[in-house]
Structure 1
Amino acid sequence: MLLHSHDDFTTLREIIVGSAENYLSHDRDVTFELFHHDNLAGFRSDWAYPRLVAADGDRAARSWNIKRRYTEELHADVEDLAATLAALGITVHRPLALPPDAAPIAGLGWQAAPTPALNIRDNTLVLGDEIIETPPAIRSRYLETRLLAPIFQRYYEAGARWTTMPRPLLTDLSFDLSYARDEATTLGGPTEPIADPQPSPYDVGFEMMLDGAQVLRLGRDLVVNIAHDNHRLAVDWLERHLGERYRIHRVHRMADNHIDSMLLALRPGVFLARHDGIRDMLPKALQSWKFIVAPEPDPGAFPAYDESEDLVLTSPYIDLNVLSVSPDTVLVNQDCTGLLKTLDAEGFTTVPVRHRHRRLFGGGFHCFTLDTRRDGACEDYLS
């Protein structure tokens, strides 16, 4: 188990595939609402932003139950993804499953129901031979990487470096709300106007928050999406930590957080992009790369959900979240026929894989996985 991963496109040898076991509900609190606010405009309610200490003393988040059929079908699709990768000759590692009766987790002034380690790209960044656990922005995901700890431990024992970025306290005043309040960048912001975040004895001001899925890895170069000061603080730390080993290129508000449903590198010189305008947001050296623009999503490719009962967390562009297993081969959602045809026409070998409820669980194949060994070195693709 030699940790060695510098990009998202060279030949894949080892990977972790997340677990969907016992993903039964969403813990809806301020952190969940802020993270997903771009896609929650239709779910406004008076409890979407509970304070650390509410007026009635109730600090509990509200649980949004997910229909059992959806959770069972998600689990089946994730297991099929793991089996597909194994059939391609890739070594697949799996996290610990979240127990069905998992106890709540807690911080200083909050409590949350834990989330399974499904979207494992988010809370970990692998750079070469280093595992970096990133600072989470959602309380229910605060201890998610502990479900990956046995795998990380084995890589560490084999020589990998293992780092944890500073952990945020996640109080009301931890969050830079400028993105959520900016009408030019959001569909309306959080479901309750946030004019008076409540103080806490644990406040330290804005805190570092960053997901690994905000980072596009291109050998020596890292393109990082920054939407607000929480992200900026984390990237400042990352720059100091990495020193001269990597070059960090900051892009601003390409998305609210994750970059991997906006832009993915399929091979050196080729991007898969949501739209061609992304080119102008990138460093000049990357603007000359070929941009394969994904076709508009077909509404018929998604299951029909009940708007009053089913919480949709991602945009229809989630199927752009593909997984490359080599510079020529890409795993694509089998229901996204337009993207399959587009990539086939561009000379890629596509592997169709089923993923039905991607809009309910906030991720695609790139989100659900964390590649730990690829053939590529720490190349300079920009010079």
Structure 2
Amino acid sequence: MQLNSHDDFTPLHEIIVGSAANYLSHDRDVSFELFHHENLAGFRSDWAYPRLAQAGGGSGENWTIKRRYAEELHEDVEKLAATLTCLGVTVHRPLPLGPDATPIAGLGWQAAPTPALNIRDNTLILGDEIIETPPAVRSRYLETRLLSTVFRRYWEAGARWTTMPRPTLSDLSFDLSYARDATTTLGGPTEPIRDPQPSPYDVGFEMMLDGAQVLRLGRDLVVNVAQDNHRLAVSWLERHLAGRYRIHRVWRMADNHIDSMLLALRPGVLLARHDGIRDMLPAPLRKWKVIVPPEPDAGTFPVYDDYEDLVLASPYIDLNVLSVDEHTVLVNTDCTGLAKTLEAEGFTVVPVQHRHRRLFGGGFHCFTLDTVRTGGCEDYL
């Protein structure tokens, strides 16, 4: 059980699949609003999900998810784990969050905890090192503790286990410039960001970064930076990884995560939302082939209630695929256009059902954390 994961495409041997058990609500506060404000080319922000004002809500409320959707999500995640097992991959699981989990609290805030579902976010695996990244959402502050039993087994087998500096997450910890900048090319904020309130625990902008902001390519890491919280965290990573990895910053490819914008399917081949992403990449990556699938078919998504169901992800979420090796890719069963595009490029597509990806803001790459692949710290660039 030796930890070894440098990329997203060499043959996969071990993986952690998140848990959707008891994912019944969202805690909505400034940290949640900031994290989920999707910015999409060609779309107005209020198209992405309903305004709080329309739903009669306010800052800091708990938003209930319909039980049927939560149960169907749980079914789909369990089928994902079973599919990977059938493909010969060893699957590890986090501890499930209990149905009546006690709220967690920080200095000046309290939030209902979130199950460890989108586990790509708060952890970055680099070779033989587990790096717990600084969370940007209060309700997810202790999420990696649900993974600690798995992490400990890798540590006992020789892995390094590092935790980046933990933010206080007071209102003034967040750089709101991206959310408030009407000139950003990707659109405006999904929700109005309320005026942050001062706190005796304010320390200024703090490090915040998710593993899903990082494209791993052997010894090269492409990291999306959209504001100062990200910039501070990447500076920490550069110092920590000095001499081991080369970090390439890309500016505002997205508000945070890039794994529904860009994924590497094998050396020399990228899957991207649109061809213009090539111009944002480091020069050596611009020479790689870029596969752009057809636009999502709106008819393949469940229909939700604009005033009751909180849609957190864009229609492009199905680009969030998971590679088992350089030839085999797990793709949402409903995303036939993407599947046909990949098959035409010589990939074997394994269809897996995932119905409510837009409600829970994640795809197969988000739900998983690959811990053992055969690839090394190669120089792909």
Using the size of structure 1 for normalisation, the TM-score is 0.95
Q: Distance in 1 between matches of 2:52 and 2:90?
A: 45
Residue 43 of structure 1 corresponds to: 50
Q: Superposed, which structure 2 residues align to 1:206-225 within 5 Å? A: 206-225=205-224
Are residue 25 (structure 1) and residue 32 (structure 2) matched?
A: no
Q: Residue in 2 aligned with 1:373?
A: 372
C-alpha displacement at 1:188, in angstroms? 3.3
CA deviations on 1:209-249 (whole Å, 9 max, x unpaired) are 00000000000000000000000000000000011100000
Shift of 1:184: 2.7
- Structure 1 letter corresponding to 2:50: F
- SS of aligned partner of 2:52: coil
How much does 1:192 deviate?
A: 3.4
Distance 1:193 1:223, change over 3 A: closer
Structure 1 position 344 matched with structure 2 position 351: no
Q: Offset of 1:94 from its aligned partner?
A: 0.3
Q: Runs in 1 of length 4+ with deviation above 6 angstroms?
A: none
SS of residue paired to 1:244: coil
The equivalent of 2:11 in structure 1 is 11
* 1:135 alignment partner in structure 2: 134
Task: Give 1:276 deviation, angstroms.
Answer: 0.4
> Alpha-carbon deviation of 1:187?
4.1
Partner of 2:42: none
SS for the counterpart of 2:16 is: strand
SS of the counterpart of 1:257? coil
> Conserved in 2, the CA contact under 8 Å of 1:33 and 1:48?
no
Q: CA deviation at 1:43?
A: 2.6
- 1:131 is paired with a residue whose SS is strand
Letter in 2 for 1:8: D
- Note the C-alpha offset of 1:183: 1.2
2:34–2:193 Cα contact (<8 Å) kept = no
Q: 1:306 to 1:128 in 2, by over 3 A?
A: same
For residues 57-77 of structure 1, what are the alpha-carbon distances to aligned partners after superposition, in whole Å with 9 as ceiling and x for unaligned? xxxx31110001100000000
Count of aligned pairs: 371
Contact 1:48/1:191, CA 8 A, preserved across alignment? no
Root-mean-square deviation (CA), in Å? Answer: 1.3
Q: Which amino acid aligns with 1:373?
A: V
Counterparts of 2:210 and 2:340 in 1: how far apart (Å)?
31
User: 2-side partners of 1:197 and 1:70: how far apart?
Assistant: 32
| CA offsets 1:175-200 (integer angstroms, 9 cap, x no match) | 11110011133543263354x42211
Partner of 1:90: 89
1:4-55 deviation per Cα after TM superposition (whole angstroms, max 9, x unaligned) = 00000000000000000000001111100111122763432358774xxxxx
CA distance, structure 2, for counterparts of residue 303 and residue 184 of structure 1: 32
Query: Residues of 2 paired with 1:234 and 1:197: CA distance?
Result: 21
Q: Identify the residue that residue 333 of structure 1 maps to in structure 2.
A: 332
Counterpart contact for 2:179–2:193, Cα < 8 Å: no
Q: Residue 350 of structure 1 aligns to a residue in which SS?
A: strand
Partner deviation per Cα, 1:83-131 (whole Å, 9 max, x = no partner) = 0000000000000000001000000000000000000000000000000
Alignment of 1:194-213 (within 5 A): 194=194, 196-213=195-212
Contact 1:48/1:192 (CA < 8 Å) preserved in 2? no
| Unpaired segments ≥5 residues, structure 1 | 51-60
